[in-house]
A and B are shown apart, each in its own frame.
Chain A
Amino acid sequence: MSSAKLVGESNPSLARGLRALLFRELKKWLKDPVMLVMLVLQPLIWMGLLGKALNIGALFSAHNVNLPQQIPIPGDAVLVPQGLQVVVLNGTKLSQFFAGLGPEIMQSAFGTTDYFSFMSVGMVSMIVVTTTMFSGMSIVWDRRLGFLDKVLSTPVPRAAIIFAKILNATLRALFQATVILALAYLLGLRLSSTFTPLNILGVCAAIFLMSVGLSSIFIAFSMRSTKMERPMQFVALITMPLMFASNTFFPIDLMPSWLQAVARANPLTYLTDAVRQLTILPTDFAALTWDFAYLIAFSTVFAVIGVLLSWRYLSL
């Protein structure tokens, strides 16, 4: 064939294709500063309003348990041993006692006395989920606008197309989550005594695992949706239950048992717990190991399924 020379000339490689496609996505992202600000602003508002408004810690303060100075207890309410003496409780002391209970209740339920710290870490998980899914959605546009077909007509390895999407989603999620975490720190997140800067790497690893698994499966499905609105509706539908049926905003142990079952299957629970263990809680290594084990399993299974589904769709 006269084309022999030409065939030799193009030498498509996975690494180069992946790099090119990934850079395209990241450039698009970085060239839109308004979008960047919006993406940070949204969780910031959530965190600032919800985290500060739901001041659960304050529920148990002396201010809330405001008892009168003297509380006479009617005779028939208690056994009265001697005569007709009325037992009088010291309200002020009692208030102080209740107020002292507050931090203890917080500590045992949330693991920390500061609800804002608790929920802002939850926010990090949430941002991982939404960013991952929104980034994955770009494949729908690529398909609609003919870009995907164009890429498919080139000899670039199909894996490059899929991995570029997954990596794009993951890198964005990592970036957003880091920004949120930094902002939370500025807004008053209290780091635990066991925190070292090295823990940040652990946080990134956990986010990476979550994001890779989630984006793989989400991209595989988005790719197939003929309607642009579908993935959008799916995200809107799934985000809420995913967040609330987990330990993102509230400890699982206090949930009804059926919800506990759901929350314990929810990978978001493990991401959130892993990040909490590494930042605001004194690290419990057994729990942390279990979190990572779960995240690795989740990530592997979903990534494999997702990549295979995408692969099948993109192959001729």
Chain B
Amino acid sequence: MRGDVIRAENLTKVFNRSVVAVDHVSFSVRDGEIFGFLGPNGAGKTTTINMLTTVLRPTEGCAWVMGFDVVKQAKEVRKVIGVVPQEYTADEDLTGYENVMLCADLYGVPRDVARKRALELLELVDLIDFKDKRVETYSGGMRRRLELACGLINRPKVLFLDEPTLGLDVHTRAAIWSYIKRLKEEYDMTIFMTTHYLEEADALCDRIAIIDRGKIVATGSPNELKSSLGGDIITVTIKEGVDVAEVIKGCENVKEVRYENGSYRIKAKDGEATAPIIIEALRERGYTVVKLSLTKPTLNEVFLEYTGRALRDAEESRESFIAHRITLMRARKR
């Protein structure tokens, strides 16, 4: 177990003795990796983060961060972690710089170190020109960057990012991703993050745990997960209205054929090589291929495979719904 920065064993959280938010979750995060929890809202991602960051006490199970028990050694854990919550927690009435310094005070970073570091961090997230502006005037992307800077003021060994790009537009999201990568390199941290954006998990994470209804259903690197599906997806449409499923099934590497919406959805290994074989087999029997497409499996397919449904949001409580709306409202601000 050495080299594990975070370790969770049967971590469980039950709210009000009836709502199981996180259900016996076990995983470990290795030193220096970006580990992602992927799942819909309400799957238990934030609850897991709250337990790991010593905000919530687990109902059952244990977890260690940097070898410290999150319940018994909460104080030690708090010192070595940085947290960037899903909400925009920076104070709107304070300036960016004041907010970073507030975090420094909470962590007890020595004043002179904090001052230097605050400027350095604001520089890194390109907010240095806005450091004396009230956060109220910041756009969603700027606020996110400020949250990142706040979360790093104590030079954490482990950074927790809860939905780092929630509600941001595609453009800003990509920018935030590059900031996260830059900061990780600069500070040599391990990152634990949650997201319900498939592309985000794909773009950022070294390893992913897919979480659904409080349970981890699969763990692995994005590529491992994708290849665990067993192949690429080839979609073929032919001109003739006859059933050619058997013909396609006869081809090499084809694993599964389904007829959907007027075309054949074929699961096959090594799609690039298999597609021409299928076309050839069909032509030999006198059929005309009018359309063909090849899709490499995405995490969306992975999610579908493991949970039996597309990644969609679960029910939220009213409280988290409002918090969520506020986050989205602020994110959209330009």
Contacts and interface: CB of A to CB of B under 8 A. Distances in A.
Contact of B108 (A11, A144, A145, A151): A11
A10 B86 contact: no
B174 to A, nearest CB: 24
Interface in B93-126: 93-94, 98, 101-103, 105-110, 113
Given A3-B66, A3-B80, A156 B106 contact: yes
Contacts of A7: 76, 79-80
A316 interface: yes
Interface in A208-245: 226-228
Interface string A1-40: 1110011011111001101110010011001100000000
Interface residues of B, number: 46
B108 A16 contact: yes
Interface residues of A, number: 36
A309 to B, nearest CB: 17
A196 to B, nearest CB: 39
Contacts of A152: 54-55
Contacts of A147: 87, 89, 91
A153 interface: yes
Contacts of A144: 319, 322-323, 326
Contacts of A17: 105-106, 108
A149 interface: yes
A100 interface: no
Interface stretch (B67-75, B178-186, B201-209): B67-75
B57 interface: yes
A158 to B, nearest CB: 10
Given A9-B155, A154-B103, A27 B98 contact: yes
A1 B66 contact: yes
Given A20-B105, A144-B319, A144-B322, A150 B85 contact: yes
Nearest to A152: B55
Nearest to A155: B78
B75 A155 contact: yes
B107 A154 contact: yes
A9 B114 CA distance: 11
Contacts of A28: 91, 93-94
Nearest to B66: A3
A16 B101 CA distance: 11
Contact of A6 (B50, B79, B86, B110): B79
Contacts of A21: 102, 106
A11 B66 CA distance: 18
B248 interface: no
A278 to B, nearest CB: 35
Given A17-B108, A20-B105, A153-B53, A3 B157 contact: yes
A257 B109 CA distance: 59
A6 B67 CA distance: 14
Contacts of B134: 31
A17 B104 CA distance: 9
A27 to B, nearest CB: 6
B81 interface: yes
B67 A1 contact: yes
Contacts of B79: 6-7, 10, 12, 155
B194 interface: no
Contacts of B81: 153
Interface of B: 50, 53-57, 66-67, 71, 74-76, 78-81, 83, 85-89, 91, 93-94, 98, 101-103, 105-110, 113, 134, 154-157, 160, 319, 322-323, 326
Interface of A: 1-3, 6-7, 9-13, 16-17, 19-21, 24, 27-28, 31-32, 144-147, 149-156, 226-228, 316
In the A-B complex, the 4 residue pairs with the smallest Cβ-Cβ separation, listed nearest first, are A146-B87, A20-B105, A12-B108, A155-B78
Given A147-B91, A154-B103, 13 more contacts: A1-B66, A7-B80, A10-B79, A10-B108, A12-B108, A16-B108, A20-B105, A28-B94, A146-B87, A149-B50, A150-B85, A152-B55, A153-B78
30 contacts: A6-B80, A6-B154, A6-B155, A6-B157, A7-B79, A9-B109, A9-B113, A9-B154, A10-B79, A10-B107, A12-B108, A17-B105, A24-B91, A24-B94, A27-B93, A28-B91, A28-B94, A144-B326, A147-B89, A147-B91, A149-B50, A150-B83, A151-B106, A153-B55, A153-B78, A155-B106, A156-B105, A156-B108, A316-B56, A316-B71
